[in-house]
Amino acid sequence: MVVPFLGGDEELRALLGRLGAIRCAPGDTLTVVDNRPARPGEGPPPGDVIRAPERQSSYFARNRGAARGSAPWLVFLDADVEPAPDLLESYFDPAPGERTGLLAGGVEAVLAPGGGPITRYGVLQGHLDVEGRDGPDGREHAITANLAVRREAFAAVGGFEDGIRSGGDADLCFRVQAAGWGFERRPAARVGHATRATLPALLRAFARYGSGAQWLWERYPDFQPPGSLPRVMAAVLATSVRVPRAAARDGRDGALVTALEPVSGLAFELGRFLPNEVDAGWRERLRHVRNVRRARRAHRRAR
């Protein structure tokens, strides 16, 4: 198991406690990759933790963690998931096919501690649910919140693109399948994943997803093309009319979805104008904006 981590010391201790509840067989190992910048005077990390301070990218951390072990399968988890104790057993029952390179575990969106309308919106919308064959040439994809990759397939494609902030999981899935490996779903290998609890956190997440979607679209032109910004902004402006109607028709949950869906959609589309590369400077940011604008104009003309 490989888990990237970027947080405080108490969160790290809590993470190790949650992961310690997973039943492991002989030969199974855990590697938590501490991706925080180097801190003066820090002591040695706990036994299952290695440090990767050079680049703050979860994909960089995952590559570093994958290089540590030798087991035939790599199980990637997010640091904020609640894994079931039988996670590993469920991944390999039944046994994967000989040419299967990817096993997509189940990710259940759950309320963040304390609840609240923002986290409830994420559960209602199933923000962490990735299903369907919507990738290039009908390929499937999953998220690294809960994903197993055959080490041989991972090595064959060179692992994750590790200089980016978002979209590296879909990209890895596409490249592994393009190399001839299969994809299977393992919904019983389940983790719970809390949705965003505050509006700023929700909008930051959707902006990052949009940045990753733009990066993916540039590489896989049929996948996640840009939407219409004027249409999305019009939907945001229309919420003052639509929310009361939704509340009368569908109650509080309907009003919540009607209010937040256009706002998160706008954050997603605006996020496309943010470079997906880690630590992009201002010149790269300006260049990216120009390139995105040109690409969107060309896309509109081609439709």
Q: Are residues 162 and 21 in the same domain?
A: yes
Q: Are residues 187 and 97 in the same domain?
A: yes
Query: Which pLDDT does position 41 carry in this prediction?
Result: 76
DSSP alpha helices (H): ranges in the chain?
Answer: 9-19, 58-66, 87-91, 117-125, 151-156, 168-178, 199-219, 229-237, 239-271, 282-302
Number of domains the chain contains: 2
Q: Are residues 152 and 73 in the same domain?
A: yes
Positions in the chain whose pLDDT score sits under 70:
130-133
Compute the radius of gyration of the chain from its Cα atoms: 20
Q: Are residues 190 and 222 in the same domain?
A: no
Q: Are residues 107 and 237 in the same domain?
A: no
Using CA atoms, how far apart are residues 51 and 64, in angstroms rounded to an integer?
9
Range of the domain at 110: 2-195
Query: Which pLDDT does position 47 carry in this prediction?
Result: 83
* Beta bridge pairs of residue 147: 76, 104
Collapsed DSSP state (helix, strand, coil) of residue 191: strand
Query: Which pLDDT does position 132 carry in this prediction?
Result: 59
Q: Which residue has the tokens 């496309």?
A: 272
Q: Are residues 240 and 148 in the same domain?
A: no
* Beta bridge pairs of residue 83: 191
Query: Which pLDDT does position 154 carry in this prediction?
Result: 98
Domain end: 175, 195, 215, which one?
195
Q: Are residues 138 and 241 in the same domain?
A: no
Query: Which pLDDT does position 133 carry in this prediction?
Result: 61
Q: Are residues 188 and 292 in the same domain?
A: no
143-199 per-position pLDDT tens digit: 999 999 999 999 999 999 999 999 999 999 999 999 999 999 999 999 999 999 999
Could you tell me the CA-to-CA distances from 8 to 22, 33, 35, 84, 219 in Å, in that order? 22, 13, 11, 23, 35
| pTM value surpassing 0.85 | yes
Q: What is the CATH number of the domain that holds 70?
A: 3.90.550.10
